[in-house]
Structure 1
Amino acid sequence: MFQRPPRITQALLIANIVVFVLQQLPQMAGIFNQLALWPIGSQQAFLVSPGFEPWQLLSYGFMHGGFGHLFFNMLMLYMMGSPLEMTWGEKRFLTFYLVCVAGAGLCQLLVTALAGEYYPVVGASGGVFGLLLGYGMIFGNRQISLLFPPVTMKARTWVILLGVTELVMAYTGWQPGVAHFAHLGGMFFGWLLIRHWRRPPPSKRRSSHLRSVK
């Protein structure tokens, strides 16, 4: 039923699972407290906060708040990451995923700073939502069969609906305790990176401009 994922996708799956197992060990609590993404200024607000550190923009993406959180993210990583890695290659796929994780973290830092909130964030969801966006852009016409609701739709349509749902939940607060703006940030940075990759090199852009003004 499940095929073996390509190398980088497999490595990311293993890394997330191993980190989650280590999170369950009481003696590791202090270490992982420093690896979560803490808002800027949280050290002054709470004595238990180690404060923001740059490495947290990546380390938080390998931690999870519970088994359900881990299971959903790893399922999406496997389903969406495998075809993208086979299409892009290992280097570009890993770059895309990490950019989405870091981009989601930056968006979360901005939102928490504006809202004056100081809770930490963990989870690979920012990177996963970036993969969902990438899947919709690269394989937009593929049919996706959903379990709930039991419907079939194009991948592009599914991704648009996910994005709209996240936006509504972010602004209404219907699902508190979930970093919806981080999800949207992962999608946004994924979109920016794909747009950047699709741009022609500067030499081709200059030659096209010269032809157009002759």
Structure 2
Amino acid sequence: MNKLTDGIKHLIIINVILFVAPQLLQIDITNIMALHFPKNENFGIWQYITHMFMHGSFGHILFNMYGLWAFGTPLEQMWGKKKFLFFYFSAGIGAGLIYTLVNYYQFNGVYELFVSAGLNPSEILTVLEKGSTNDARVVNAISQEQFNKITMLYNTPAVGASGAVYGILVAFGLFFKDAKLALIFFPVPIAAKYFIPIMILGDLFFGMTKYSIGNIAHFAHIGGALIGFIIAYYWKRNQFKTN
């Protein structure tokens, strides 16, 4: 069993505290720490960091912390604590930024329909905050599917360390490409160099189609994987493996 390294130990402790404490104290810190859409009144630039320590369910935090431990341990042992934490936060922040950019692109496509229908910015934000409207201008110009999409983008905050964990997965695959891993739904061991691309391609497919199951931030996963790949590839090429 992998030894619990120092950096990963502290990350897990912070994540567990921020998952358990609000429930015990019966307080909601979502509006402060989860990553909101930039036009939402609850958005704060610090959320690109704090959202990594928020989780929506026990299964969510369990999966992410297991991935952090299982795939991050050999990386921290190889790089050292400081470089590992730099990598972790870089992948997580990058995941949040790319997720925001994709959402902004999707948001603006529908937002322009509101503008074309004759609504001013204040009226549009009021409609989005309510999540519903009987305004004839909106009803006639925007489909229900488009309306649901833009209100979800505006009102649904992102939480979780998944983006950072995907960065770790990619780095693990680059440095330990022949390590054997197993999918839950396909328990035959697969080399990391095949396993990890399959997961990322799955996120790309679900992120670009309507087949996603649940409220999963697929493009945050892809963003974390992309930033993780860039950093890990550079470090590997330059033999950046010492403390």
Q: TM-score, normalised by structure 2?
A: 0.75
Q: Which residue of 2 aligns with 1:183?
A: 221
Gapped regions of structure 1 (runs ≥ 5): 44-49, 202-214
1:126 to 158, 163, 170: 163
Output aligned runs, 1:128-147, within 5 Å: 128-147=165-184
Deviation at 1:23, TM superposition (A): 3.0
The alpha-carbon distance between structure 1 residues 136 and 199, as it changes in their structure 2 partners (threshold 3 A), is closer
SS at match of 1:153: strand
> Which one has a bigger Cα radius of gyration?
2
> Once the two structures are superposed, what CA deviation does each residue of 1:19-43 show, in whole Å capped at 9, x if it has no partner?
10023246431x3321110111112
Aligned to 2:58: 67
SS, match of residue 150 in structure 1: strand
| Identity, % of aligned positions | 38
How far apart are 1:148 and its partner, in Å? Answer: 2.6
Matching residue of 2:86: 95
For 2:235, the equivalent position in structure 1 comes to 197
Structure 1 residues 24 and 139, CA gap change in structure 2 (3 angstroms): same
1:38 is aligned to 36
Whole-Å separation in 1 of the counterparts to 2:210 and 2:59? 21
The total of aligned residue pairs comes to 192
| Partner SS state of residue 181, structure 2 | strand
Q: Which amino acid in 2 is paired with 1:194?
A: A
Is residue 77 of structure 1 aligned with residue 68 of structure 2?
Answer: yes
Deviation at 1:186, TM superposition (A): 0.2
Instruction: Provide the secondary structure at the position in 1 that maps to 2:32.
Output: helix
Cα deviation for residue 196 of structure 1 reads: 3.1
What is the CA-CA distance between 1:199 and the residue it aligns to?
A: 5.1
Please give the alpha-carbon distance, in whole angstroms, between the structure 2 residues aligned to 1:136 and 1:200.
Answer: 17
Q: SS of the residue aligned with 1:186?
A: helix
Q: Is the 8 A contact 1:104 1:182 kept in 2?
A: yes
**1:174 to 1:197, Cα distance in 2 relative to 1, 3 A:** same
